[in-house]
Amino acid sequence: MLTEVFSVIVFSDVLCVTVIQGQDDWGVTYSSTEICALKGSTVEIRCTYTYPSRKNYRKTEVEETFWFTKLSGYQPVDLRTDSDYQHRVEYSCSEKSCTLRITDLRESDSAKYKFRFITNQPDGRYTGSPGVTLRITDLHVSVNSLHRYTSELWAQLECHSSCRLPARSSYIWYKSGQQVQSQTSSTYSVYFNYADSYSCAVKGHEDFPSPPVCVDGQTCNRVIYTDRSICAFKGSSVDISCTYSSYETIRSKFWFSPERSHQWQSPSQPEDLSEDSQFAGRVQVLERWRGRSTLRITDLTESDSAQYHFKYTTRNFEWRSSLPGTTLTVTALQVQVTRITVHQSDTEAELKCHSSCSPAGRLSYVWFKNRQKVTGVETSSFKGRVYPGDIISCALKGHENYGSPPVCE
């Protein structure tokens, strides 16, 4: 029978549970039981674990370690095989400790994470409870108070989130896209005018700011990008969108990429992407309704991986924000060999169509064996018998001309 003694510690408003165990106990200790993290950022969840060195006259050896949030048929599902976490999960495990790293955090990642290890003992499977509750949050600016004086407007703003970030967090404030110096508190008292918008970020996480808000009304100067990051396949098309508003009439507007500044006449003056020779015939700007702009790039190449910004100019103002735009990552497919089983007369292979990032949505794949389409397989995995001389490749359905390099048996 396992005996565990718990000591409870409150640290930065997060309840941490330390499990004090004997030498021969089974157990998992999590560094914290609650974590609040920003959407789009990266989080690390850590634990240590113990097990008896010997049992039933047999030395205990760990055969498998993994993290999970879901069950399938009463069995935990390894996050590395969960399609919701594809290309975003990494384990860093050593003897009796393991760290889970999740990148590009999404709201759907809010869940309870548990660590499980399996040993060579007949009953040597252990899952650590209670696990770690991860909550994903966005930052938002709220107007706590607003005062109108004879010739001035004053407001108290607050940068807040749906869960509690570390108590010692330092904040950065932006006014109409430009950083405000010497403001590090989560609250900000300011005299403003109707044209100004305000946004905030946590220091160290400047790539994940809040959407800019108007202090009073809805027609201040601001740009809000629909996506912070987009992953797309080589050869496909992508839509990068934003909404925008202006206090004055807009005279000109266009999309640009800071990574192309070496092509500009002046490095400090952005130039319209549609006039860049690298994008000739591949760029289209769509404005289906007022206040929303979409940059469409077709026939994507890996060199299109960059950050994209929207700029507009009025008679007295130019939106050239120091806030991040939308980061596009263009990825090519690769065939990854996950398992090989050699038989007397042939070889059985398990392959995966792999990319460096995971595009959104459900994707269908096409597999080719000796340049002939394999029927009945539309998933990212392929399993079948291969023979000497066979070559296998994969592609995204609808983009067969941009398949992976072939691999040989």
Q: Tell me the domains of the chain and their CATH numbers.
A: 27-135 (2.60.40.10), 138-217 (2.60.40.10), 221-331 (2.60.40.10), 334-408 (2.60.40)
Higher pLDDT, 247 or 25: 247
Between 407 and 295, whose confidence is greater? 295
The pTM (predicted TM-score) of the whole model is 0.80
Averaged pLDDT score across all residues of the chain: 87
Is the pLDDT confidence value at 10 over 60? Answer: no
Query: What amino acid is encoded at 119 in this protein?
Result: T
Instruction: Give the model's pLDDT for residue 144.
Output: 93
- Residue 21 in contact with residue 4, Cβ under 8 Å? yes
Give pLDDT tens digits for 305-315.
Answer: 999 999 999 99
CA 204 to chain CA mean position, Å: 16
- pLDDT at position 402 over 60: yes
pLDDT digits (tens, 9 = 90+) for 325-349: 999 999 888 898 888 888 877 788 8
Mean pLDDT over residues 83-104, rounded? Answer: 90
| β-pair partners for 188 | 157
CA distances from 193 to 209, 224, 284, 342 (A): 22, 20, 35, 73
Task: Check residue 113 and give its pLDDT.
Answer: 98
Tens-place pLDDT, residues 195-248: 999 999 999 899 999 999 999 988 999 999 999 999 888 888 999 999 999 999
pLDDT band at residue 360 under the 50/70/90 scheme: low
pLDDT in the model for residue 177: 93
Cis peptide before 130 (omega within 30 of 0): yes
- As to burial, measured by CB atoms within 10 angstroms (0-12 exposed, 13-18 middle, 19+ buried), residue 392 is buried
- Tens digit of pLDDT for each residue in 271-299? 999 999 999 999 999 998 999 999 999 99
Provide the phi-psi class of 267: left if phi over 0, else alpha when psi is between -120 and 50, else beta: alpha
